[in-house]
Structure 1
Amino acid sequence: MRWVVVLVVALVVAWLAGRWANDAAIDKLRVASAQRLDGYAVSLENLLSKYDFLPGTLELNKDVIALLQRPGDEALRAEVNAYLEQLNRRSGSTTIYIVNLKGVTQAASNWRSRQSFVGDYVAFRPYVRDALRGMPGGFYGVGTTSGEPGYFFAHGIYYQGRMLGVATVKVNIERLEQGWEQDAGKVLLADANGVVFLSSVPEWKYRTLKPLPLDVQRELEESRQYFSHPLAPLGQRELRQLDGGAALVTLPGDQRTPLLSLTRSLAPRHWSFVYLSDLSSASASARSVFLFALLVQALLVLLVLYARQRKQTRDHLEVLVAERTASLREMTHHLSEENSVRRAAEEKLRRAQSELVQAGKMAVLGQMAAGMTHELNQPLTALRTMSDNAQVLIERGRLDDAKGNLATISQLVARMGALTGQLRQFARKSDASLTAVAVAVVAAVTSALFLVERRVEQERVNFRMLVRDQDVQALCDSNRLEQVLVNLFNNALDAMADCDNRQLTVNIERANGRALIAVTDSGPGIPEQIRAHLFEPFFTTKPQGKGLGLGLAISEQIIREFGGELRAEAVAAGGARFVIVLPLAEQETA
């Protein structure tokens, strides 16, 4: 029950805060709406006051007086028509016309048009009736001849104290609506009967703010003030009356969204300005304050609960600290043991990796064994033949020829020594903990090529090495880099075995602070689905018995250990390209 009471009190306080915020927002909106209505009312009065004097000035024209005295004088009528036409153009009004005491139009500014008012009977119009009774008339209505709405000014024309007729000026005030349409709110202007005749919403024009009584409907039909418009009710519903002529209303089509309606009366015309403002901002402000009040109260409740929980926690803290200390001490002991086991496992892994790299070397040497045997057999045969010849030449006393044979033998022995030395260097087992040093990339490529040179010649492969910078040095181990290059060369030669065009290209360059070695062949290329698995252990595309699928996996691991990257790329012209990316030695030194 205590928590239920707290919840109810919190909701009530939050609701009151939201209600206060909503009322404050509505008051602020009401003040802004009143200011806008004042501005619109001033604009309307300024527009109408420009023409209020114009009908009275027509009795100063002697031709107008003469026409009302001699209505049958057609020449005089033409002069008055021309005068009214010119006056209408200069004043910017819609129409100016003269009516006699019987309510028949004698002259008009629109006498040239097919909708000329000349000869029309207009005595039924309220503004004409008022002017004939001696009261200057003002009237808004829809023209019965042209169908165009406007405001009519009517004033009696007197001569020597006697009324001769009525001067009428029609003014278009519809252009005021263009300024209203730019407003965020909705603006209405209604007559004394509540008929909307100007509106920023075109659909609301000639609608009524409330249903019209029958006598008012009959009077409007007789005066034809709004001519053929049906004057259906707008359908606004008042929700709550506020101070200062304001109210909360809803409109048809959106009954759930209330609007703030502010009404301002315009005397002496008995018109009413109505300004409708959207209350979504006020509602959003009320919701925000409501939620903020709830959050503040929730925060206060949480602070109280936190204080209670902290008091309970403080009592139990020492026991928890003691238990955690013992647990951490035991955990530290276990972690120390696990660390020792992990270091031993890492040492075994390094040794296994070193053995795997050495196995890869031996596999490459096995593939080259036949070629090396042939490479050594030829010099050995030549050595035997030339040594026998040297003995014969010495016996015959041809010492110069014997010296030539011995020099050739020395060159052959040096060549054989270089070949076996390179093989011995390649077969040497690398230390797993060997650190990276500066290695000349061109020299490493040359050494690796020396090991596969015999196969390149036998298989008639065109070899090209493109070097942009001779002194490119990479941070790595030369022996392992040569192992990777030999493996890439052998793979390229295998790929081109069945090709007519056999081209092996090596590019060496610097790019983005790295050393790049690209090995490109003219073989059939590597499909996309196979390229994704190239560096997986035991994955191979060679026939069974031709490879274990470890060469590229070992090569990729070697390059990665030196902080580099080995990747495979497709070649647009066909073939495959493997790119070795290694850090430059200059960077490491800096």
Structure 2
Amino acid sequence: MPAQTESSAPFQAQPRPQPHVRTLLGLVLLAGLALPYLAYWWAHQLSAEHLRAAGAQRLEVYATSLENLLDKYDLVPRMLELDKDVIQLLEHPGDEDARNAVNEYLEGLNKKAESSNIYIVNLQGRTQAASNWRQPDSFIGDDVNFRPYIRNALRGRPGGFYGVGTTSREPGYFYAHGIYKDGRMLGVAAIKVSIESQQLSWTQGDDKVALVDANGVVFLSSEPEWKFKTLKPLTASARAELAQTRQYFGEPLPALTLAHDEALANGDRLLAIRDGAVRHTGMPPLMLTQTRSLSPRDWTFIYLSDLNSARGNASLAFLFALLGYGFLILLFMYWRQRLRSKEELERMVAERTASLARMTEDLSKEVDVRRQAEQQLQITQSELFQAGKLAVLGQMSASITHELNQPLTALRTMSDNAVLLFERGRMDDVRNNLKTISQVVARMGTITGKLKGFARKSNAELGPVSIHTSVSNALVLVERRLQLEKISFQLRIDQADIYALCDSNRLEQVLLNLMTNAIDSMAGCAVRELHLTVSSKGERVLIRVCDSGPGLTDEARERLFEPFYTSKPQGEGLGLGLAISEQIIRDFGGSLKAEQASAGACFVIELKAAQETS
């Protein structure tokens, strides 16, 4: 009996750990069910955010490119009121010599400007001369008074208009500007520009781009089948207005077929459009929709990112998580098997040792991969700094274009005058004209030189940099905006040059970003003042950039240097400028902070002082 008791004791002790094992198994199973779905959600959110950031950047590039194209032709109609033959024709409509001279001049100007057509309209809205006067479908004699851009120009309000030509049936963008003599309007000069070529640069894989007007009509698109369709059915009043202006002459303007339309919390939308090059028998692909408005033309850019890639990444993450969970289950079963069988202990130890050896090898490879990732991170940061500079240049493109257009117009006028003066033998006046042309060219060279120096990639090495020179270079790039927006600028800096340990190109990038943000913040303010103060305090150099704008909110102050956070309206900034600037100054061994100010916002750059070297 005692022997039986001893043999049965260990037999009864075996079931004791089973409840604990069952509980652990249940927890592992629950974790295994939750982990793949959590991985799917996280990967989908990350991929969607990446698509959103890439879409916003491409929208900004497309909008800037289109605005630059349209602004290039803005001055052409204004030039025509300087031509004496144009004035002669409008004052004397029966003068056929003047008409022929104007026709030939417009024909040559149209070729040089690479526009579609240029024409002159009298006060009754009838075309008097046109660059296509040799063609069978010439505009001469056409009544274009029904076009809104002609009516507005005749009322003294120059402007633009996109529409389909009633004669040529070719779409284009029309500019119109009044022609005056001694303050009296004689007629209107108009130019037609084709912007259809912009669609060629809008193809980005499966993503789609569309440009719509205020009525929701798609008039440019990377998807040809969407063109001249509407995002929603047009109202009767809208159709009547379009019919009156003949904006889309002969186009039925049907609505696109939406299989899905969902508004997101951040203002974006999820759309699924059945219309396209390929008809879908089932549910069409879901697209993330982002918009960017083009003022004052009442146009809207729409960028649609295909979410299939995000779903694919999420599915891949789900699969990896599922495989990882399966691997953990196998390890758990392997551990249990070791506890059950003491005879296989040595074999299990050997296998474990081999597994550890493989893990060591994997860790060694992971160290190499991590080292490569750090190197790639440095390269990516450098590219991000460069992208930040190019983004600032893109925001400044309008003022820089205006800054260069004025001297270009002056150069053309003075060069024409120089030819006339030379033919009349007035050599002193010719010499003075040429001197003025040289000064204007030198001024343009200074601007383009500063832009070229600012756009080049920075050297990662730090050295003594003249603060005077960096401030001067940055001011050249914002000088025109300060003048145009009537901002009072004050610079306080010692006469003796101050040097700091940094990189000149990246310091100029930070200064330009801070001054540009200050100028943007003062839009609509009654008092517009920008102060830049440079001082040296021991071994530190302090640069303050302060404005008289509305200042910083508590939320903005807390999230000031967060990437992709911006207080600007959607489409006017990516929220990377301050984050990049703070990283640049930190790389210099300094700091960038927002200082408490009684009015407006004030940013302080603190750098290490340095001595001038040869």
TM-score w.r.t. the length of structure 2 is: 0.49
In structure 2, C-alpha distance between the alignment counterparts of 1:317 and 1:27, rounded to whole Å: 50
Matched, 1:38 2:60: yes
Tell me the CA shift for residue 9 of structure 1: 4.6
Q: 8 Å contact 2:228–2:251 — kept in the other structure? A: yes
Residue in 2 that maps onto 1:146: 168
In structure 1, C-alpha distance between the alignment counterparts of 2:26 and 2:126, rounded to whole Å: 82
Q: How does 1:9-158 map to 2 (within 5 A)?
A: 9-158=31-180
Residue in 2 that maps onto 1:169: 191
Q: 8 Å contact 2:123–2:188 — kept in the other structure? A: yes
Residue in 1 that maps onto 2:325: 297
For the residue of structure 2 that corresponds to 1:72, the secondary structure is coil
Matched, 1:276 2:311: no
The share of aligned pairs that are identical, in percent, is 56
Tell me the CA shift for residue 241 of structure 1: 3.2
Tell me the CA shift for residue 242 of structure 1: 3.8
Q: 8 Å contact 1:245–1:263 — kept in the other structure? A: no
Instruction: Give the letter for the 1:119 counterpart.
Output: G
Q: 8 Å contact 1:138–1:152 — kept in the other structure? A: yes
Q: 8 Å contact 1:238–1:247 — kept in the other structure? A: no
Q: How does 1:223-262 map to 2 (within 5 A)?
A: 223-242=245-264, 245-252=267-274, 253-254=279-280, 255-262=283-290
Tell me the CA shift for residue 125 of structure 1: 0.6
Residue in 2 that maps onto 1:263: 291
Can you list the C-alpha shifts for 1:382-439, whole angstroms capped at 9, x where unaligned?
xxxxxxxxxxxxxxxxxxxxxxxxxxxxxxxxxxxxxxxxxxxxxxxxxxxxxxxxxx
Instruction: Give the letter for the 1:208 counterpart.
Output: T
Instruction: Give the letter for the 2:239 counterpart.
Output: Q
In structure 2, C-alpha distance between the alignment counterparts of 1:231 and 1:7, rounded to whole Å: 56
Q: 8 Å contact 1:104–1:122 — kept in the other structure? A: yes
Residue in 2 that maps onto 1:314: 342
Instruction: Give the letter for the 2:125 counterpart.
Output: G
In structure 2, C-alpha distance between the alignment counterparts of 1:315 and 1:279, rounded to whole Å: 54
Q: 8 Å contact 1:56–1:155 — kept in the other structure? A: yes
For the residue of structure 1 that corresponds to 2:153, the secondary structure is helix
In structure 1, C-alpha distance between the alignment counterparts of 2:225 and 2:160, rounded to whole Å: 26
In structure 1, C-alpha distance between the alignment counterparts of 2:331 and 2:131, rounded to whole Å: 83
Can you list the C-alpha shifts for 1:230-275, whole angstroms capped at 9, x where unaligned?
1111223554434654322211044242122221111111111112
Tell me the CA shift for residue 96 of structure 1: 0.5
Q: How does 1:480-559 map to 2 (within 5 A)?
A: none
Q: How many residues align?
A: 318
Q: 1:182 to 1:239 in 2, by over 3 A?
A: closer
Q: 1:4 to 1:72 in 2, by over 3 A?
A: farther
Residue in 1 that maps onto 2:595: none
Instruction: Give the letter for the 2:337 counterpart.
Output: Q
Instruction: Give the letter for the 1:268 counterpart.
Output: P
Q: 8 Å contact 1:207–1:232 — kept in the other structure? A: yes
Q: 8 Å contact 2:260–2:273 — kept in the other structure? A: no
Q: Which of 229, 234, 241 is matched with 1:219 structurally?
A: 241
TM-score w.r.t. the length of structure 1 is: 0.51
Tell me the CA shift for residue 183 of structure 1: 5.2
Q: 1:239 to 1:204 in 2, by over 3 A?
A: closer
Q: 8 Å contact 1:206–1:231 — kept in the other structure? A: yes
Tell me the CA shift for residue 300 of structure 1: 2.5
Residue in 1 that maps onto 2:202: 180
Instruction: Give the letter for the 1:306 counterpart.
Output: Y
In structure 1, C-alpha distance between the alignment counterparts of 2:142 and 2:175, rounded to whole Å: 17
In structure 2, C-alpha distance between the alignment counterparts of 1:236 and 1:84, rounded to whole Å: 46
In structure 2, C-alpha distance between the alignment counterparts of 1:105 and 1:90, rounded to whole Å: 22
Q: 8 Å contact 2:338–2:344 — kept in the other structure? A: no
For the residue of structure 2 that corresponds to 1:257, the secondary structure is coil
Q: Which of 218, 228, 252 is matched with 1:206 structurally?
A: 228
Tell me the CA shift for residue 224 of structure 1: 0.6
In structure 2, C-alpha distance between the alignment counterparts of 1:182 and 1:8, rounded to whole Å: 42
Can you list the C-alpha shifts for 1:155-205, whole angstroms capped at 9, x where unaligned?
111111111111100001111122224655222111111111111121111
Residue in 2 that maps onto 1:286: 314
Q: 8 Å contact 1:30–1:246 — kept in the other structure? A: no
Instruction: Give the letter for the 1:149 counterpart.
Output: P
Instruction: Give the letter for the 1:267 counterpart.
Output: S
Larger radius of gyration: 1
Tell me the CA shift for residue 106 of structure 1: 1.1
Q: 1:11 to 1:126 in 2, by over 3 A?
A: farther
In structure 1, C-alpha distance between the alignment counterparts of 2:304 and 2:143, rounded to whole Å: 40
Tell me the CA shift for residue 73 of structure 1: 2.1
Q: Could you list the runs of 5+ residues in structure 1 that have no partner in the other structure?
A: 319-590
Q: 8 Å contact 2:273–2:284 — kept in the other structure? A: no
Residue in 2 that maps onto 1:191: 213
Q: How does 1:418-457 map to 2 (within 5 A)?
A: none
Instruction: Give the letter for the 1:71 counterpart.
Output: P
Instruction: Give the letter for the 1:36 counterpart.
Output: R
Q: 1:70 to 1:135 in 2, by over 3 A?
A: same
Q: 8 Å contact 2:259–2:284 — kept in the other structure? A: no
Matched, 1:159 2:187: no
For the residue of structure 1 that corresponds to 2:255, the secondary structure is coil
Instruction: Give the letter for the 2:32 counterpart.
Output: A
In structure 1, C-alpha distance between the alignment counterparts of 2:241 and 2:93, rounded to whole Å: 31
In structure 1, C-alpha distance between the alignment counterparts of 2:272 and 2:29, rounded to whole Å: 33
In structure 2, C-alpha distance between the alignment counterparts of 1:23 and 1:50, rounded to whole Å: 41
Can you list the C-alpha shifts for 1:452-507, whole angstroms capped at 9, x where unaligned?
xxxxxxxxxxxxxxxxxxxxxxxxxxxxxxxxxxxxxxxxxxxxxxxxxxxxxxxx
In structure 2, C-alpha distance between the alignment counterparts of 1:170 and 1:237, rounded to whole Å: 37
Tell me the CA shift for residue 47 of structure 1: 0.9
For the residue of structure 1 that corresponds to 2:64, the secondary structure is helix
In structure 2, C-alpha distance between the alignment counterparts of 1:7 and 1:305, rounded to whole Å: 13
Q: 1:86 to 1:183 in 2, by over 3 A?
A: farther
Q: 8 Å contact 1:131–1:137 — kept in the other structure? A: yes
In structure 1, C-alpha distance between the alignment counterparts of 2:44 and 2:98, rounded to whole Å: 68
Tell me the CA shift for residue 34 of structure 1: 1.5
For the residue of structure 2 that corresponds to 1:134, the secondary structure is coil
Q: 1:306 to 1:90 in 2, by over 3 A?
A: same
In structure 1, C-alpha distance between the alignment counterparts of 2:224 and 2:293, rounded to whole Å: 22
In structure 1, C-alpha distance between the alignment counterparts of 2:225 and 2:251, rounded to whole Å: 12
Instruction: Give the letter for the 2:200 counterpart.
Output: Q
In structure 1, C-alpha distance between the alignment counterparts of 2:261 and 2:305, rounded to whole Å: 14
Instruction: Give the letter for the 1:134 counterpart.
Output: G
In structure 2, C-alpha distance between the alignment counterparts of 1:63 and 1:242, rounded to whole Å: 58
